[in-house]
Amino acid sequence: MKKILIVDWLEKYGGAERVLTVLNKQFDFDKCFTLINIMSNSDLNRVFNGKKIKIIESNLRLVRSGFRYLFFLFPFFISRFKSDDTNALIISSSFSVAKGFKKRSNQTHICYYQARNQRYIWDRENIYFSWWQKTLLAPLLFLLRKIDIKHSGRPDYIIANSLFIKDWIKKNYNIESSVIYPPVDTKLFKFQKNKQDYFITTARLEPYKRVDLLVKAFNKTGDILYVVGDGSMKKRLRKTAKQNIKFFDFLEPKEVMELVSKAKAFVHAGIEDFGIAPVEAQSCGTPVIAYNLGGLSETVIDGKTGILFNFQTTDAILDALKRFNKTKFNLRKISKHAEQFSEERFAQNFQNFIDLKIKK
């Protein structure tokens, strides 16, 4: 049986790409369809474990890094892909439009939702578009939502990466799904009992991650905060941050692990669909201070493996930091808690799901 991977796009190596690495180890894909591949060779090697896999791209490859400006064409290009392999197993990793791949009648399509799909067209909080842009784009966004709902029915089976995403799929598409939590490299992110006097966050520095709230909070406390990541917000955040906040450019996974494992706490203010980085922190025995919505409300136990705050505000973060300073944590138990999200458990759960569905 041929095994085919469908990915929205291949650009940078992050949490979703770590899932792809584990999936490829498990299923050893024969080919990959993606809207565009602008990923570095080193990151491609990480995703496909050094295998030279056939990657089929859409015509969006002609615009390279500017492809996001053509977001309204994503559904069209994903629908243009075809695979003539009979009895093929198709696994799509979707945070945008990958679920819309058109399979043939003798193929089985299983879609793993890595996130709320096409958040930019479902956005109700003006994170991606300002109110006037949304007003101007209203007819287009309405059409894209209609297409997105139609495409959601193309996979034979849907797996959500959290209960939060399962509920989102039901609300927006009226489709039932199963839940398999993403994999965390608990072997790399090892327990470290000796913590140092700094907090840390690792994230793509984009508006929806709300790192701006962390910068404002730590500007007030004066505590040391390490910010690891890159993105469109980096220059702006650096301008507003005081000297107690240090930004790191690209780091290797082992360097990230070293910083996360020795931090007194991992902080996060965004809404995560699952949130692999906070679980990696817990694997090291590092408590997590996070917003109590989305995947982190499922992976962080308030008062035991971290501190959860209920509002996306600077004041809520400051109150959470005060609670953190008054709480004693069992670091070994925090690390033990993260073991349920191991790569081995993810791979086994995914394989069991596929075996069951193919038998049907």
Do β-strands 157-160 and 265-268 pair in parallel, antiparallel, or remain unpaired? unpaired
Tell me the pLDDT tens digit for each residue of 219-259.
999 999 999 998 889 999 999 999 999 999 778 888 999 99
What pLDDT score was predicted for residue 128? 77
DSSP structure string for 26-74:
HH--SEEEES-B---HHHHHHHTTT---EEEE-GGGGTGGGGGGGGGGH
Low-confidence spans in the chain with pLDDT less than 50: none
Domains of the chain, start order: 3-183+342-359 (3.40.50), 199-340 (3.40.50.2000)
**Do residues 142 and 129 touch, judged by C-beta distance below 8 A?**
no
Six-digit token string for 271: 């809404």
Six-digit token string for 128: 């991606």
Helix (H) or strand (E) holding 91: strand 89-94
If 0-12 CB within 10 Å is exposed, 13-18 middle and 19+ buried, where does residue 78 land?
buried
Q: What is the DSSP letter of 273?
A: S
If 0-12 CB within 10 Å is exposed, 13-18 middle and 19+ buried, where does residue 261 land?
buried
What pLDDT score was predicted for residue 150? 97
Six-digit token string for 287: 């408590």
What pLDDT score was predicted for residue 115? 93
Written as one letter, the residue type at 83 is S
Six-digit token string for 40: 């570095």
* Model confidence, pTM: 0.90
Distance CA 245, CA 212 (A): 12
What pLDDT score was predicted for residue 228? 95
